[in-house]
Amino acid sequence: MYSLNPSAIPTKVDIEVSEDIVTKFLENLKNDNDGAFPESIDFTLRGTDNIKRYGESLAQVLALVGVCPVVDSLGRVNKVELIPLEKLSRPRIDVVNSYSRFFRDLLIN
């Protein structure tokens, strides 16, 4: 736990994996909802899950909203970029987040 760098979450690999997960997740929801995307989704972010998976859940939330974390040369995430709707090819999804206390206290960035 002490070797974790909160600024390096999510990692590049987790960002890529999360984009695939979100695409498949939204396609399943769309198929179950008569071809319509959901307007909003509730998401719970837990500290231990994000530590074990290096921020994959956090990257999923960002992918749902339609933003991409920008990783600098040192592996830190200091900003996010809005993905244009033309490239996103779907509406942005509103995400209501619930955070565990461990997530809030450990991953303060």
58-96 pLDDT tens trace: 899 999 999 988 888 887 888 889 999 999 989 999 999
Q: How far apart are alpha carbons 30 and 28 in whole angstroms?
A: 5
14-46, pLDDT tens digit by residue? 889 999 999 999 999 999 888 899 999 998 887
pTM over 0.75: yes
Q: Which two tokens stand for residue 12?
A: 């590049």
- Position 74 in a domain: yes
Containing domain of residue 79, as a range? 6-106
Q: Does residue 1 belong to any structural domain of this protein?
A: no
Q: What are phi and psi of 100, to 5 degrees?
A: -75, 160
Domains: count for the chain: 1
